Chain A
Amino acid sequence: MRSQFGATVTSLLDEDPRTALVLAEISETLFEGALARHPNRALNVGIMEQTMVGVAAGFAMEGFHPFAHSISPFMAERPYEQLKLDFGYQGLGGTFVGVGGSYDYGAEGGTHHSPADVSLMLAIPGMEVLIPGHTGEVDGLLRATYANGRPTYVRLSVAANAEPMEVAPGRMEIVRPGTGATVLAIGPMLSRTLAACEGLDVSVLYVTSARPFDRSTLASVAGDAPTVITVEPCYEGTFTSEVVGAVGHRPSRVHSIGVPRVFIHSYGTPAELDSELELDAAGIRRRIETFLGA
């Protein structure tokens, strides 16, 4: 996903003179060509994330469509106030691309984890949030949103689904219809969720757009007595308010499977941590069955 992000933004910098790119050291090598070709609107400010976002806001104030990028904790958490005020409060548009959500950098320890990124971004009024689940979805989502005048956080992951889906901002996809519970797989959780639901009579929906969130599709699939399970690559419960907003006017059961709200002190690959936290296919299956009483 990170490589595709580099290719798409490099292409947009070449195509659209109103784009700008501000880096804080991370991924500089990915943009060597663009930085050389567009030195007045593509720059690496060094390791200063607050200023990275502030400089991007300065470009946005002048009518540019800026991209800013770092790994997720240094994109969503360290310059949070700049995202909230410089873009959110001021009503400016920009695209903020975080790579390595949750514990993608599992061996780096908690300083490099960011399971809170999606919650934090959703707490900024007007901030849109996209979570592609496959490299093949990255280009379309970026191109659909970069110039819309609104702030957008894009969460890229190391984990990916087996196949890309046709996705668009504000839309969720019905991957597998069923008659029982409705399972929402968020971003890179789709493939493992489909494996976990093998043989269960449940609907599986695929979500890449956390905001705008497609409440109407969820409400129509979930039916009159909704039982909704979310499988989230970020903190558990991140999507609960949107789910309740979609189905909460009817008596509903809602359950979240996601990253537990504790600091993770284990090291390892993302897959090893998935297994430890019951976020691999087997763990998700066990948790769905426990909730459904199967």
Chain B
Amino acid sequence: MDTTVGSLEEVRSLIARATGDEKHDESSYSTIDALWVLYDRVLHVDPAHPTSEDRDRFILSKGHGPVSLYALLAAKGFFPRDWLDAFMDHGGRLGSHPDRQHVPGVEASTGSLGHGLPMAVGAAMALRAKGLVDQRVVVLCGDAELNEGSNWEAILLAPQLELGNLSLLVIDNHSSSLAMAPWEARVGSFGWDVHVVDGHDHDALERALRTRLDARPVAVVADIPEGEW
């Protein structure tokens, strides 16, 4: 029996099968630990039923560098592994920005920055309206993506809607030209419960990503020191 099937080791090997998007390597590799923890330990999702009503929702708002998500979804069985071989190819289903109409497990078609968090707020509201109280929405943004003003609209809004079923996962790989820290002071001042953790520490990521409060959204900032992705 191959013990690497569905493992982080396999995810890394699948990432290596997808070539052609070198400019997004940093973006892909800096998300891999947080995505692994989400899909292996935190999110309730079923590869056999990727649109099941009782699933947790994950939105990759920072649509660039999606290879780590593709590799993870393939390793977990959402789609065949050999789709990675046709990454960015004509006729393939995996582009350098994800398309929800092509890829099982991809909730949103993203790429233009600043769209995922407002949509996540709407999805979290919708879950509440449907009475799905155990389900949650997790949205991943990059630190530089948070330069976009639309995110700050949603960051202002979500705590006032008391969205305890929403988590913002920030991958802070220090790619922003503008200073974003201190996260606790900036995002926390809007009413979010902010956790800054080592972006490679799986246990710390798990503890932060499992955090749910009754009426307050959670922001988890996964710190990836420059050059250590």
Contact = CB atoms under 8 A, between A and B. Distances in A.
Interface of A: 20, 22, 40-41, 43, 45-46, 48, 50-51, 53-64, 66, 81-82, 85-86, 89-91
Nearest to B150: A50
B126 A85 contact: no
Contacts of A46: 156-157
A41 B101 contact: no
Given A50-B114, A61-B123, 15 more contacts: A20-B125, A20-B126, A22-B122, A40-B125, A43-B125, A45-B153, A50-B153, A54-B115, A54-B150, A61-B119, A64-B126, A81-B112, A82-B118, A85-B109, A90-B108
A64 B122 CA distance: 10
B69 to A, nearest CB: 17
Contacts of B126: 20, 41, 58-59, 61-64
A89 B63 CA distance: 14
B125 A51 contact: no
A41 B125 contact: yes
- Majority secondary structure of chain B interface residues (helix, strand, loop or mixed): helix
Contacts, number: 97
A15 to B, nearest CB: 15
A64 B100 CA distance: 17
B122 A55 contact: yes
Contacts of B108: 61, 90
Nearest to B122: A58
Contact of A62 (B117, B130, B150, B153): B130
B107 interface: yes
Interface residues of B, number: 29
Given A40-B129, A86-B115, A90-B101, A58 B123 contact: yes
Given A48-B153, A91-B101, A58 B120 contact: yes
B101 A54 contact: no
A66 B101 CA distance: 20
A61 B122 contact: yes
Interface string B192-217: 00000000000000000000000000
